Amino acid sequence: MKKTTLWPYPKIVAHRGGGTMAPENTLAGIRCGLSHGYRAVEFDVMLSSDGIPVLMHDPVLGRTVRGMGKVNHLTAAQLTVMDAGSWFGPAFAGEPVCTFERAIRFCQQNDIWMNVEIKPAEGCEVETGRIVAKMAQACFATEVAAHIAVPSAMTAANLPLLSSFSLEALRAAQVAVVAIPRGLLATVIKNDWLEQCQEVAAVSLHTNHKFLSPVQVNAVKESGYGLFCYTVNSRKRGAEILAWGVDGFCTDRIDLIPADLVMPAGDTVNK
């Protein structure tokens, strides 16, 4: 029998805040996404050396944050005075590394839904999953309580979705705060995807759209899971996978793909 799962979250999500329009994983990026009509954002979170979650994709400094060394070897106080914007352009010079808590508060104030990717440094999987989940619980205490009292798609929609490639991090998040929904990230959908989703009680599977087929979409949906894709940068491709039954996707091209994209499967727009 086919199981059905409502995807209560937005369909189109701004990747790492502002996609290609602003420095990734910064408050400036999230503001940029908002200015383009996006009230749904994806960003990455890892821990500082003193256990404070910050928005960061790379485990080492240098690409988006000026400096050298590993992120998890520096304190939050050290990280949050570092320049995370100059690499993108002079207009963003001095944009600081953002803490997870600050990003949450901004998103709450502006009614922005969050897909939080737990991005642990090597060896920090369990601690990162636990701390990220606990901070989300503290900031969404009322919403968590409501979801526990009446578990539904409606109450889940008021909570962030925690996703990760790390099963260890997702297990730790599950143990810490079972009520906050989780999504499993997988570059390619392998034969054991269902067992892995069940292992961490995930509500959704997140995968690279480039390796996705309609047959796989059907299998995931028939098993009762949400299906989310990264990173779709063409309106035509976005419309195609939505027509297949994909629930949503994140994009870097917030300038080309509207947050409320709805297109028929036969649309030929190719941007």
Q: How many residues does the chain have?
A: 271
15 is catalytic: yes
Given a contact cutoff of 8 angstroms between Cβ atoms, the answer to whether 161 and 116 are in contact is yes
CB within 8 Å of 192: residues ≥ 6 apart: none
- State how far the Cα of 179 lies from the Cα of 249, in Å rounded to an integer: 23
57 is catalytic: yes
Among residues 15, 147, 206, 209, which one is catalytic?
Answer: 15
Distance of alpha carbon 230 from alpha carbon 253, whole angstroms? 12
CA distance 131 to 101: 11
Closest C-alpha to 201, from 173, 220, 165: 173
* Closest CA relative to residue 172, chosen from 126, 119, 132: 126
CA-CA distance, 206 to 164, in Å (whole number)?
9
Catalytic positions, written as ranges: 15, 57
